[in-house]
Amino acid sequence: MIDMWGEEKIRAFRATLLDWYDEAGRADLPWRENQDPYRVWVSEIMLQQTQVQTVIPYFNRFMTMFPTLNDLAAAPEQDLLKAWEGLGYYSRVRNMQKAAIQVRDDYNGVWPDTMTELENLTGIGPYTAAAIASISFKEPVPAIDGNAFRVFARLFKIDADIAQPKTRKVFFDLGLQLIDPERPGDFNQAIMDLGSSYMSAKNYDSEHSPVKQFNAAYADGTEDFYPVKSKAPKPRPITYFAVAVHSPAGYLWEQRPTTGLLANFWTMPLYALTDFVTDPDAEWSEDEMIAATEKRLLADYGVVAELTKMAGRPVTHVYTHQKWTVTVLTAEVEAMPLQRGTWRDFDALTRDPQPKIQEKVWKRLN
């Protein structure tokens, strides 16, 4: 049950928040130069799961490569993946291109201007739709992301579990009452800035927050308890082998299938332990697994190689539902015809779009 403020207090909160935003908001962010929906959309998709300072150079490069929605719609996928390389969650950029094509073909190149219509576009959920609708089209709808969950939960001491999908409506309905109808985009961006500064998850500074007088959790010292969020399941551990086979013609290199994790990216051969071990109770020694990898290389690529394990700890990388532990195996061989994949010299292969796990393998090799 939320102890809702009266209209006078709501107006006071809006004024306090927006006065602070006008004075201290992050106006230097490149996507805030204007309210163009294309720029707002690109930035919001990039900012999912990614820090602001990391996004800035990616955003600037992306806008240079694909300055308009039509440029994005027409771009080769390999160019998109290369532009996105390092940001992770690559389905985001693939969905962006699908949405760009929708706007171009289904809406005659004109952006839908309401949250409801924007949610019809591929890859645009409630938060992104609300952000675009409020910032670009002045629709008074709250953009509920992690920052908004945290800010509103502390302001009102909301104990609903934000990991539960049904909780979003609680916060959305609250935001509908709080949002400034004249400046909805600025209101949402002010909440974002507040949630990443004075009301951040860690090292917050409520004592100097511009809205501390409205913060119920600050008043009784319970901010650490908000927002309430149950723990997500731990990512499932998977053991992999990355095979760095080098010849005078270059490295053994191939493009992954068009579906599945890391679709269409270029990598060295990657084998999961489950590719060899079908019995979960079987105990394989390291030498046996390396020998099995050598047999798979011969069967899959036609490459005869004596593999050596690199010294040091394996490379690790965490995806949403999986944690990869990758042992790097190396070999020097003669150049030979391949049944699959290609030989590619290092300078050439760096131009291919590669996933983060492959970048980590290169760092280990170098």
Catalytic residue list: 44
Rounded CA-CA distance 68/59 in Å is: 13
- Show the CA angle centred on residue 10, arms to residues 151 and 124, nearest 5°: 50
State how far the Cα of 91 lies from the Cα of 99, in Å rounded to an integer: 12
Q: Is residue 59 within a helix (H) or strand (E), and if so which, with residue range?
A: helix 52-65
Name 238's bridge partners: 324
* CA atoms of 306 and 143, how far apart (whole Å): 55
Number of H helices, E strands in the chain: 15, 8
Which amino acid is residue 130, in one-letter code? A
The answer for 191, left when phi > 0, alpha when psi is -120 to 50, beta otherwise, is: alpha
Residue whose token pair is 């204007």: 34
Q: Which amino acid is at 29?
A: L
Among 237, 234, 232, residue whose Cα is nearest residue 316: 237
Pair 253, 343: CB distance under 8 Å: yes
At a CB cut-off of 8 Å and minimum separation 6, what does 145 contact?
127, 192
Distance separating alpha carbons of residues 271 and 300, to the nearest angstrom: 11
